[in-house]
């Protein structure tokens, strides 16, 4: 099942060091307001509340599984740079207020599309100035999965609602 929701490409290993300011950016991507942790929590919620909605929960479950892998990869990267992968961004600890609690098909899909687009943009932006090339490569690889997720959610929105 995961193969449908992730590209069959390896995830690059991370090595070396990272300046503190960039480690803060990575921590925000990991567990800030608009982060991997927010996506995991949102999709986990939606796969439950959308159960029985034309197999929509299967889509959220598939993406959830890949996002969980991404979360682990970012946590491992943070740890490899000598920091603890705590559930906190640059400014605050993670809050479950960040989670998308939509339980309507259209809202859930539109929010998921926006989340994937936005996260892909932030990954690519950070990769463009990241001083650690191995981390930049990992971020760009994760971004490819985000583009796939955006397409899967968009296709489903069009199929379900003609949007």
Q: How far apart are CA 113 and CA 153, in angstroms?
A: 6
**CATH assignment of the domain containing 149:** 1.20.1260.10
3-state secondary structure of 88: strand
- Does any domain span residue 142? yes
Domain range spanning residue 95? Answer: 16-161
User: For residue range 100-122, what is the model confidence (pLDDT) as tens digits?
Assistant: 999 999 999 999 999 999 999 99
**Cβ of 50: how many Cβ atoms within 10 Å?**
22
- Which tokens hold the place of 139? 């971020």
φ and ψ of 93, to 5 deg: -70, 155
- Does any domain span residue 52? yes
Q: Is the dihedral of CA 123, 124, 128, 132 positive or negative?
A: positive
- Does any domain span residue 7? no
pTM greater than the 0.85 cutoff: yes
Range scoring the smallest mean pLDDT among 20-29, 51-60, 69-78: 51-60
Instruction: Tally the domains of the chain.
Output: 1
3-state secondary structure of 93: strand
- Does any domain span residue 4? no
> What is the per-residue pLDDT for 54?
72
């Amino acid at each position: 099942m995961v193969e449908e929701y992730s590209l069959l490409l390896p995830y690059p290993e991370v090595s070396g060091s990272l300046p503190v300011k960039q480690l803060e950016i990575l921590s925000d991507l990991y567990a800030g307001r608009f982060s991997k942790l927010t996506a995991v929590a949102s999709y986990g919620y939606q796969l439950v509340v959308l159960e029985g909605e034309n197999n929509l929960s299967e889509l959220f479950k598939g993406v959830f599984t890949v996002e969980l892998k991404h979360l682990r990869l970012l946590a491992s990267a943070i740890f490899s740079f000598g920091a603890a992968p705590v559930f906190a961004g640059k400014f605050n600890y993670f809050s479950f207020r960040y989670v998308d609690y939509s339980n309507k098909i259209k809202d859930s899909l539109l929010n998921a599309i926006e989340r994937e687009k936005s996260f892909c943009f932030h990954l690519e932006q950070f990769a463009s100035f990241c001083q650690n090339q191995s981390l930049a490569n990992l971020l760009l690889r994760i971004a490819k999965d985000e583009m796939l997720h955006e397409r899967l959610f968009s296709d489903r929105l069009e199929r379900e609602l003609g949007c």
